[in-house]
Amino acid sequence: MFDFTKKYQVMGILNVTPDSFSDGGEHFDTHEALLHAQQLIADGAAILDIGGQSTRPGYVEVSPAEEIARIVPVIRELKKTTSVPLSVDTYFPEVAEAAIAAGCDIINDIRGLDTPGMLAVLAKAPHIGIIIMHSRPRRKELTVAQDIQSFYLEKYEACLASGIDPQRLCFDPGVGFGKTPAENVTIIREPEKFRFRDFPVLYGVSRKRTIEHLTDEPDPRKRDYGTIAASLFACDRDNVEILRVHNVKGMVDGLKVWSRLKNDDAHV
């Protein structure tokens, strides 16, 4: 079972898609995806998060069969060459089942187990880690923190009812999904309010529009510095377990410097 509890693990994003918002098409070919995966690992990625479908604003959904065709060959090849844990970013139960059969270690569900059948698939795979992200439309009668905490509790109880070990769970407040710019900033600014009890948490702000709002940078590929700053701010306010980013090298170096300065270990 994957250990989510280790602090400040950097998850490298590997998009095997033609249309992701910041790197669509760059690693769509299996060979290119494998080369990029090797670079992410060399840069210090503790986890690789493989996605076969873009979920950028206005995306066109692809079928589970297409998603499986994109990611399964990559998973199989990576399992031959690396021991780095592999996460799969999907909300389709069929894709999760195929990815688990191919050897992935984590299912990262951006729809937070809302798709019928996903909970049943994961209940049958007790060795698989589960990342549950909030992406539902916001309930405006609640604050963003109240809404997300209510969602977390609902999913926690559903997992318990399905016999899923709570140690398998990690939660993600879903920056950029169904929230206003101000709400997204609140999640980054006050991460302690968006942790469910003492469960591990994932923060994914990499290159998102929230970073554009804070930096006025329209080009997603030029938002890595802002991503690192926002991620480190969240770390400083709360002991974040996983940081999901495109630029692994920058995030790893940023964490090293921040951690050494914070812990008075910056001897030269």
Number of neighbours of residue 106 by Cβ within 10 angstroms: 26
Out of 207, 208, 209, 223, the active site residue is: 208
DSSP designation for 201: B
Q: From CA 52, how far away is CA 62, in angstroms rounded?
A: 9
Q: Is 70 a catalytic residue?
A: no
**CA-closest candidate to residue 36, choices 179, 257, 247:** 247
How far apart CA 179 and CA 59 sit, in angstroms, is 17
* 186 touches 144 (CB < 8 A): yes
208 is catalytic: yes
Packed helices 224-237 and 248-262: angle between N→C axes, nearest 10 degrees = 40
Catalytic residue among 168, 179, 207, 244: 244
Give the active site residues. Answer: 208, 244
